[in-house]
Structure 1
Amino acid sequence: MSDLFASYVTTRDLFPDQGSITWGSVAETEALVELLGSPAREISGATVDDVSAAVMDLSGDEAIVLISQRGGWTVLFEPAPCCGFDPRALQQLSAAGAALNVSWTVNHDVWITYASGGQIVAKFDPLDLAGVQPKSGEEWLQGLPVTPSQWAADWMAACLALGEHLSSIHLDANWLRAGHQAIIIRRSPVVTTAASHLDLEDDELAAAQQDPRVAAVIAEPTTDKLPLITELIARIAVSSASLPGQALVDRTFQLIMAGHDNRSDSAEVRSQLRIWSNDLTKQANAAFASSGASGHALPGRETAHGRLLLQRAAVETLVKALTDDDPAYVAYKTASQAQATHPNTANGDAGRLRALLLAAYHIYDQG
């Protein structure tokens, strides 16, 4: 597997600045496309560059998917927006086998998700393996032929190596230049009631309903609730990491609730938060060096450097919450970052965070 990893080092530079790759053990193209949406039209001999350019001309309810098949496996490449990134799509793709997805953005946000037998096994940031969700995914990570050091050194090479290990499909420069089948699909709106569309486990739903504000959000996740969703997520992160109370934190909460049009000093607050984040990183590195431990400094509550890294993750969550972007996307990415603070399952924070994450994604998915 190390040779496979080495063959993909620097391959990241060959791919567009943002996109998504999904490996799925599904061989029937028609069934595969119907999982993602309603097929509109097909393009023959398309390359990765072709579909990346074509996405600019699509309507708001359309997406384009590049499809490559070998044996019983299919690889999908998508520019944003990414249907394969949807947890529901991955669960369906893996119903009779397995599915792996990597999605990345121009802002260097990266998420990898693995599903098997119709269930999400692990979702994680490759640079924060300890933040894998659900926590049971740690066992899957430990059993991989990809090592933590490889994820840290080149996450794309590690994921492409894992994808080839699963599918035997090699995504090199020749594959990127080759012509493949591309299909434009029309994504149908999802009509649901109550919280059924959020696909929450019973314990997660119970935790969410313990907080009246979270319960109100998941009962009717609408765009007007996005500031509240983002603030609740940020407060969970701050509490989970035991981030010291500072006026800067309170000011961040005020700006989140003020909305994008009333954030006169948000750029300055983000700048101060980044300084704080860098300072916590330096403190964590110093604490790790003085501990005499070997390997890599990992976030966690058992060590001084681990606790400092959790606090850094909370500060980074606040930075995400003040990002100037689509409010639904900001809420979703804030929730994704907040997972790195290791919210407590016993007190319900983990369940509430997942409920808020899925609510934000639902709003984003509805456009």
Structure 2
Amino acid sequence: MMIDLFASYATTRDLLPDQGSITWVGIAETEALVELLGNPTREISGATMDDVCATAMDLSGEEAIVLVSQHGGWTVLFEPTPFCGSDPRAFQQFSAHSAALNVSWTVNHDVWVTYASGGQIVARFDPLDLAAVQPKSGAVWLRELPVTSSQLAADWMAACLALGEHLSGIGLDANWLRAGHRGVVVRRSPVVNTAVSHLDLDDDELAAAQQDPRVAAVIAEPTEDKLPLITELIARIAVSSANLPGHVLVDRAFQLITTDPDHRGDTPEMRAQLRAWSNDLVRQANAAFESSEANGSGHVLPGHETAHGRLLLQGAAVETLIRALANDDPAYVAYKTASQAQATHPNTANGDAGRLRALLLAAHHIYEQG
């Protein structure tokens, strides 16, 4: 039973490295899979997961190492870095004649799960944010998963390993993780900088993005130099979506967001002031809920229809400004800012939802290229 399979992986996360990528592919031709990752240059026989992690530290920037293990009609690939298996283009080729599942995670706790079949991406999602699944049609596949949303939220690694074993019949237990497999060093193929408009934007989202020349320029060529603009545009969508009232803190926040991070001297103080404002908005929302007719009917929920819901949306917009001012990798900041901005319930009719999704994909695309 799947519940037993999920439970069997409860402690497996402790045996895995802080970052990595595992891919299950429904074919046994391992040579073809390895060549999709790059040009094989040498092999390490009997390599363990720890061995490939150690080897990866000594490789040049143009090389990568992958642990390959073939069982029956399926092959498992583990990559310590980079995450070639999570590249949408390579992944679509993996699944051209079968199915493939990938889970990739970083030291920053950024997690992505991707499933493809017949050369098409069926679903790509953050296990802690299933509502943001890409493409939107992937929500149907998510509902049919043998692992539940609560299991993904409780232990995404256990849920993903259980799903991988359910699909392939291959159990990545402690014995497998410590056993010797085939280690292959490859010279990575150049990564093509594909426009985001080709990556899971539906027609309405693409049309909305192209209505704003700045967003259109971003998705046409999603490059690192556009990250400050991406973060600013995301924050402005959040403030507009939540109808956040004019406030000196909003003006000051945007002054800092549009300033070079190396010259944001008072950012910590600004984040503290924004945090206090966010907390106050949540308190106001709770008070409004207590005095409303909705009291006793459930939880305080964000939304444009009620006074308490609108206050929560405004709090989410302030939280978006806080994310935009984080001191971290700019691509990671942009992506996390976009994820938070979704909590402001951007309008689909006026195109804000489509533009936000385009910017989120652009930020994630740049982060993966990095």
Q: Which amino acid aligns with 1:47?
A: T
> CA shift at 1:179, angstroms?
1.4
Cα distance change on mapping 1:42 and 1:144 into 2, 3 Å: same
Instruction: Give the aligned partner of residue 362 of structure 2.
Output: 359
Matches within 5 A, 1:165-176: 165-176=166-177
CA contact under 8 A between 1:131 and 1:341: conserved in structure 2?
Answer: no
Matches within 5 A, 1:71-150: 71-150=72-151
CA contact under 8 A between 2:197 and 2:206: conserved in structure 1?
Answer: no
Q: Give the Cα–Cα distance (whole angstroms) in 2 for the partners of residues 8 and 249 of structure 1.
A: 45
> CA shift at 1:355, angstroms?
2.9
CA contact under 8 A between 1:217 and 1:359: conserved in structure 2?
Answer: yes
Matches within 5 A, 1:278-357: 291-293=296-298, 314-339=317-342, 343-357=346-360
Q: Give the Cα–Cα distance (whole angstroms) in 2 for the partners of residues 340 and 58 of structure 1.
A: 41
Matches within 5 A, 1:226-305: 226-241=227-242, 246-273=247-274, 291-293=296-298
CA contact under 8 A between 1:198 and 1:359: conserved in structure 2?
Answer: no
3-state SS of 2:125 partner:
strand
Cα distance change on mapping 1:232 and 1:44 into 2, 3 Å: farther
Q: Give the Cα–Cα distance (whole angstroms) in 1 for the partners of residues 311 and 160 of structure 2.
A: 28
> CA shift at 1:271, angstroms?
4.3
CA contact under 8 A between 2:196 and 2:365: conserved in structure 1?
Answer: no
> CA shift at 1:278, angstroms?
6.5
- 2:45 pairs with 1:47: no
1:81-113 CA distances to partner (integer Å, 9 max, x unpaired)? 312222223322222232222222333332222
Q: Give the Cα–Cα distance (whole angstroms) in 1 for the partners of residues 243 and 40 of structure 2.
A: 48
> CA shift at 1:6, angstroms?
0.9
Give the aligned length.
365
TM-score normalised per structure 2: 0.82
Q: Give the Cα–Cα distance (whole angstroms) in 1 for the partners of residues 32 and 363 of structure 2.
A: 28
Q: Give the Cα–Cα distance (whole angstroms) in 2 for the partners of residues 262 and 349 of structure 1.
A: 30
Aligned sequence identity (%): 79
> CA shift at 1:166, angstroms?
0.9
1:289-347 CA distances to partner (integer Å, 9 max, x unpaired)? 955449xx987768888777766665554444333333234334444554555544443
Q: Give the Cα–Cα distance (whole angstroms) in 1 for the partners of residues 146 and 286 of structure 2.
A: 28
Q: Which amino acid aligns with 1:169?
A: I
Cα distance change on mapping 1:147 and 1:17 into 2, 3 Å: same
3-state SS of 2:61 partner:
coil
Instruction: Give the aligned partner of residue 153 of structure 2.
Output: 152
Q: Give the Cα–Cα distance (whole angstroms) in 1 for the partners of residues 95 and 283 of structure 2.
A: 41
CA contact under 8 A between 1:128 and 1:340: conserved in structure 2?
Answer: no
> CA shift at 1:147, angstroms?
1.8
3-state SS of 2:44 partner:
strand
Q: Give the Cα–Cα distance (whole angstroms) in 1 for the partners of residues 242 and 26 of structure 2.
A: 38
Instruction: Give the aligned partner of residue 180 of structure 1.
Output: 181
Q: Give the Cα–Cα distance (whole angstroms) in 1 for the partners of residues 196 and 133 of structure 2.
A: 24
Task: Between 326-335 and 238-247, report the one with greater CA deviation.
Answer: 238-247
CA contact under 8 A between 2:238 and 2:346: conserved in structure 1?
Answer: yes
CA contact under 8 A between 1:189 and 1:366: conserved in structure 2?
Answer: no
The higher radius of gyration belongs to 2
For structure 2, the residue ranges without an aligned partner over 5 or more in a row are none
Q: Give the Cα–Cα distance (whole angstroms) in 2 for the partners of residues 8 and 57 of structure 1.
A: 30
Q: Which amino acid aligns with 1:91?
A: Q
Cα distance change on mapping 1:222 and 1:111 into 2, 3 Å: closer
Q: CA RMSD in A?
A: 3.5
Q: Give the Cα–Cα distance (whole angstroms) in 2 for the partners of residues 31 and 44 of structure 1.
A: 18
Cα distance change on mapping 1:12 and 1:212 into 2, 3 Å: same
Q: Give the Cα–Cα distance (whole angstroms) in 2 for the partners of residues 282 and 183 of structure 1.
A: 56
CA contact under 8 A between 1:227 and 1:257: conserved in structure 2?
Answer: yes
Q: Give the Cα–Cα distance (whole angstroms) in 1 for the partners of residues 334 and 265 of structure 2.
A: 20
CA contact under 8 A between 1:8 and 1:160: conserved in structure 2?
Answer: yes
Q: Give the Cα–Cα distance (whole angstroms) in 2 for the partners of residues 305 and 167 of structure 1.
A: 47
1:110-159 CA distances to partner (integer Å, 9 max, x unpaired)? 22222233333223332233333333322222211212222222221111
Q: Which amino acid aligns with 2:360?
A: L
Cα distance change on mapping 1:254 and 1:291 into 2, 3 Å: farther
3-state SS of 1:95 partner:
coil
Q: Give the Cα–Cα distance (whole angstroms) in 2 for the partners of residues 15 and 193 of structure 1.
A: 31
Cα distance change on mapping 1:66 and 1:241 into 2, 3 Å: farther
